[in-house]
Amino acid sequence: MVDIPQTVQDWVGKWIVKQGLEGPGKLSLLAGDGSQRKFYRLKLKSSSYVVLHDAAWILTQDYAAHQSYLASFKLPVPHFITIDESAGCLVMEDLGDELLQVRVLEKGPDRKKFLDQAAQVIADMHRYAFPPSKMVPGANRRFDTEKYYTELLFTLEHLSQKLLNEPVPSDELLHSLKRYCENLTQLQPDVLCHRDYHTRNLMLHDEKLYLIDFQDARLGPPHYDVASLIYDPYVPLSDPEKESILRTYERGLSGSEVGKKIAWHRFHADVQFMGFQRVVKAAGSYASFYTRYEKQTHLPYLKPALKTALELMPKSLEKIVPIENWLQKVKKLKIK
């Protein structure tokens, strides 16, 4: 039984009264993301809501601004009902519990349809939010050399050193990674990237896809979100499925201002080049949920992430980045 903080219970009770809803409501903890934020379902007699609690209001501070911006283009994002920064609480519509990941893993007849829909949704975000308004928090930060590099250093710290007990990285490794990150910045144009676009951040509600967890959006090349989707460690995809996603994405940007700025003749190769950074970064995040919070929930995804990283490793990093060694050690981990 999970104890719900009294401060959250009190705030929700007052919110129910203020909204003129019929209480009392019942709160239950939902499975959240990898952060320390908490999500609760609030069940009332004839309705239900999701309550996000982030006491420090750091991880959530840009969520509402991004929701409003994306909703202005009629992009499929949940409706936010009440935002109370002082209490660290945000109430949004309840989209249910079905992640796209679950539907895709079922390998049913709708698998391809929903994967292509996911490609269309991110194409719409890149298309309609281009160029991004400077009033949006995410438009004031970007994927630059330092950001790409910092994410890889995070993986070296939490996966290589803290989880796998590997030695401090060599200067040769660090230098090679920095050069690789410098090359990533050549990919253009800059769009508003979701920044964590995968099948666990897409929800199915009434057979429609909805974007969630977009508070960390930032400027970056479209290749980043596309790589996040097709090299998603949560859902291994076949080559034909990846090709279908790429075609759907390209069609989704046909005739658009942003579409005209993309080098489509090398787009797939560029997505692969970006994909290495993305999956290595993801592996570091999975490891950190354990090294920082003692959560084993994401450790099973380390193996598929590292296997994909091996396949995508740029030639300049072969025999320098020890992905294969990490993978062999991960296979020996005792994961509950």
Q: Which two tokens stand for residue 80?
A: 């936010």
Measured distance CA(83)–CA(332) in Å, rounded: 45
**What's the pTM value of the predicted model, to 2 decimals?**
0.95
SS3 335: coil
Note the pLDDT of residue 1.
41
Measured distance CA(267)–CA(245) in Å, rounded: 12
Nearest to 335 by CA among 305, 280, 290: 290
One pLDDT digit (tens) per residue for the chain, 336 residues: 457 999 999 999 999 999 999 878 899 999 876 667 899 999 998 899 999 999 999 999 999 999 999 999 999 999 999 999 999 999 999 999 999 999 999 988 999 999 999 999 999 999 999 999 999 999 999 999 999 999 999 999 999 999 999 999 999 999 999 999 999 999 999 999 999 999 999 999 999 999 999 999 999 999 999 999 999 999 999 999 999 999 999 999 999 999 999 999 999 999 999 999 999 999 999 999 999 989 999 999 999 999 999 999 999 999 999 999 999 999 999 876
Q: Residue 143: which residues within 8 A CB-CB, separation 6 or more?
A: 184, 185, 193, 218, 219, 220, 221, 224
Measured distance CA(225)–CA(268) in Å, rounded: 13
What are the boundaries of each domain within the chain?
Answer: 6-93, 100-331
Q: Which two tokens stand for residue 137?
A: 């928090």
Tell me which residue has tokens 């796209």: 100
CATH number of 100-331: 3.90.1200.10
Assigned CATH class of 6-93: alpha beta
Q: Which two tokens stand for residue 175?
A: 């230098």
